[in-house]
Structure 1
Amino acid sequence: MGDDFIVETKNLTKEFKGFVAVSDVNLKVRRHTIHALIGPNGAGKTTCFNLITKFLPLSRGTITLNGRDITNTAPADIARLGMVRSFQISAVFGHLTALENVRVALQRKLGTSFQFWKSDKSLAELNDRAEELLVDVGVQEYRDIPAGELSYGRKRALEIATTLALDPEMLLLDEPMAGMGTEDVARTAELIKRVSKDRTILMVEHNLSVVADLSDTITVLKLGKVLAEGPYSEISQNPEVIEAYMGHGVGSHA
């Protein structure tokens, strides 16, 4: 398992009309770990994330998934290969109940997403798996509540459930704690820890306390380049990282 990397980037570069937002980023994400991509504002982490998930085209470089070159592969095809981005791909339907949202996602995996005229009996066959996923993310008691009526944090949990319905091998989370209160942050962090047991997770996250608690490996970007990489215990003591995060409290986590 020492060299078992599910995703690798080589010389990942993105230029916007002469401005280099990401420069020669070499990233290796080890299978069955939680890997965080962090950095101060303007570091290029969101651009890097968008390149890996193919929401932006690369200027230069390569990306491999399980040893397969996906540099020119479309996002939808990458999802079929087992790498799925949450909070972007898995938006919920506000007028459908929590259970119905997950059931639609399960239909999508079966290739029947748009067959809304299918019989209730046929759709009900998906209920058991849908309810299991609601239990997995801790929102089973809201199964019959329209998604639009759920709190922000529980709506994010439901989105993770719809993503898990696609049975991804790798889950990419784009700022999963954004806009959450303390209670929802704690609940979502526990959820991420739970669903990571048999999956790989790559996330961009601003909440350094969450990053410290969850991540096996952290890659720090600054001005589009890798500044440091390692466990939180190492990067939080790195003088260059501390300088980059001056005033952001990178070393303050207990």
Structure 2
Amino acid sequence: MVSTQPILSATGLTMEFRGFVAVKDVTLSVNEGTIHALIGPNGAGKTTVFNLLTKFLTPTRGQIAFKGSDITNLKPAEVARLGLVRSFQISAVFPHLTVLDNVRVALQRPSGLATQFWRSASSLSALNDRAMELIDAVGLRAYAHLPAVELSYGRKRALEIATTLALDPAMLLLDEPMAGMGHEDIGRISDLIRRIARNRTVLMVEHNLNVVSDLCDRVTVLARGEILSDGSYDTVSQDPRVREAYMGTEHE
């Protein structure tokens, strides 16, 4: 069920790089249980905003809150432990490990096994059931024992999402999840995002407007580092400023 309560919010977010203002006074609210898209033309500041929200950058000015707590000055690992986890645009899996081993490695961190190098192989085996649940959830059961390098691009992205879900995030930030995908993979990953959003919040940067219109409850449009429009896809797509800055050129 879609909530009207924000799980992540930013107020007056500004990022300057040696006098260049990449993000200017961005105020953003992502409601719990929604799929929220951040869109805009190239150079609009989407990646910078993502880096600010996930603490890979510290804002010049402004405040970020997650689940009611100020996270403005926290480190990326600290916000990840709070349940705000980012999946990167470039697939980040171990190519020569199997699908199952990739997910088992990801499960070690929250279970406390990651730093316990002396633990036997049976410790990892104990993670098998949960790993297979996650592999099932992203539709990769048939590929569980295949090295990740042998997966198609779309299935590698699904595996990456499985390893992200291993951290049991309350909120998942997806950086261009459909980048470089063909039609079949786009459909598969769209269905996956819809499923995983049933019990968590998703914020995604995405260029594919068909995906955005189909998946997202709310859309925020950036242009030149500032918010141009915010609302449902139908609302922002009818905004003349948005059509001029972004959508009009996309549909031509």
TM range (shorter): over 0.9
Match of 2:49 in 1: 48
SS of 2:74's partner is coil
Cα RMSD (Å): 1.6
| Distance in 1 (alpha carbons) for counterparts of 2:3 and 2:102 | 38
**Mapped partners of 1:78, 1:90: distance in 2:** 21
SS of structure 2 residue aligned to 1:198: coil
**Counterpart among 230, 242, 247 of residue 249 in structure 2:** 247
Write out aligned runs for 1:42-81 (5 A): 42-81=43-82
CA offset at residue 116 of structure 1?
Answer: 4.9
Which amino acid in the other structure matches residue 63 of structure 1?
I
**Mean Cα deviation higher: 49-58 or 195-204:** 49-58
Distance 1:146 1:117, change over 3 A: farther
Q: Deviation per CA, 1:76-95: give whole Å up to 9, x if none.
A: 01000000001279821111
Question: TM-score scaled to structure 1, two decimals?
Answer: 0.95
Find the residue that maps to 2:73 and give its secondary structure.
coil
Amino acid across the alignment from 1:58: P
Of 143-152 and 88-97, deviating more is 88-97
Q: Which residue of 2 aligns with 1:22?
A: 23
Identity between Structure 1 and Structure 2 (%): 63
- 1:167 aligns with 168
Deviates more, 1:99-108 or 1:109-118: 109-118
Q: Per-residue deviation at 1:114?
A: 4.2
In structure 2, what is the Cα distance between the partners aligned to 1:169 and 1:241?
31
- Counterpart of 2:74, as a letter, is T
Q: CA separation in 1, counterparts of 2:207 and 2:32?
A: 23
**CA offset at residue 17 of structure 1?**
1.2
Find the aligned partners of 1:14 and 1:193 in 2 and give their Cα distance.
32
Structure 1 stretches lacking a partner, 5+ long: none
TM-fit CA distance, 1:121: 2.1
1:220 Cα offset (Å): 0.3
Give the AA of the match of 1:44: G
For structure 2, the residue ranges without an aligned partner over 5 or more in a row are none
Which residue identity is paired with 1:36?
A
Give the residue type in structure 2 aligned to 1:185.
I
TM-score by length of 2: 0.95
SS in 1 for 2:77: helix
Q: What is aligned with 1:203?
A: 204
Moved over 3 A (4+): 114-117
Cα distance in 2 between the residues matched to 1:23 and 1:168: 28
Question: Residue deviations 1:167-186, cap 9 Å, x none?
Answer: 00000000111111111111
1:188 Cα offset (Å): 0.6
1:129 corresponds to: 130
